[in-house]
Structure 1
Amino acid sequence: MAISRFLIGGVASALLLTGGLFLWKGYSQVAEEEVLPEPPPGLPAIPIAGVHAPKRGPAPPALPAAKEASREERRFNRFDRDRNDRISRVELMSSRTAAFRKLDRNGDNLLTFEEWAVATGERFAKADADKSGDLTRAEFATTAPKRVAKPKCSC
């Protein structure tokens, strides 16, 4: 009894699979035979290139050479995340992780919010001359660290 049910199920599956295959093949033949309709009158026909037509158009015009950004412009652009030519307080503070040791005033290798906010807030407030809440390029230039003269020799 169980074997006959198994055989009947197998035969039924094979018939369904074969029927599905024939239907799929029939639909694919109909799709291949379909022809695109003609465009409505009044629309221009798509031009077809002749045998001796060039394969490509003329070369695009050369782009103007980009000017080399100054050191200060590169530094400003590193902080100006949204590229609106202004550095907000959030943009400046999010980039301050490299100055961790300077901000950790008590030297416990833990930076509290108070240590971080006081140091960066004071620096931002000192640089924001017009008190607008944003740093312009000129204001940001005042926040550059002072360069230390390197010794000429390592004696």
Structure 2
Amino acid sequence: MEQGAQDAPSASGQAMPQGNMPAAGGEISQDQLTKLDMNKDGAVGREEYDQAMSAAFKNLDKNSDNTLTAEEVGTILTPEQFAAVDANKDGKISHDEMTSQVGNDFAAADTNKDGQLK
């Protein structure tokens, strides 16, 4: 899901690699993994990934309605990616839809199934 989007500060103020918001199977660059590795142990666990994606969601949700519109995600997702994540096709990405996609993205990126991205 790498779109070349610039990093933006998360709700916690740390830069969040927004190119890793729900992607439908995109690869994660080493630079993005380094940013996601909050405990700096050289790997990104599922909990770290989930926390980072939730923070990115919150940062993007400008009106705090717990959904993301195409306008809120801007160029982070292509229209096709947005549509793929919008499971109920209501024109918004709910936190639940994002969480589901994030889980799928993590599982796809965890090729050795050890629960960590390296």
TM-score, structure 2 as length reference = 0.44
Relative contact order, CA 8 A, sep 6+: which one is greater?
A: 2
Greater helix fraction, Structure 1 or Structure 2: 1
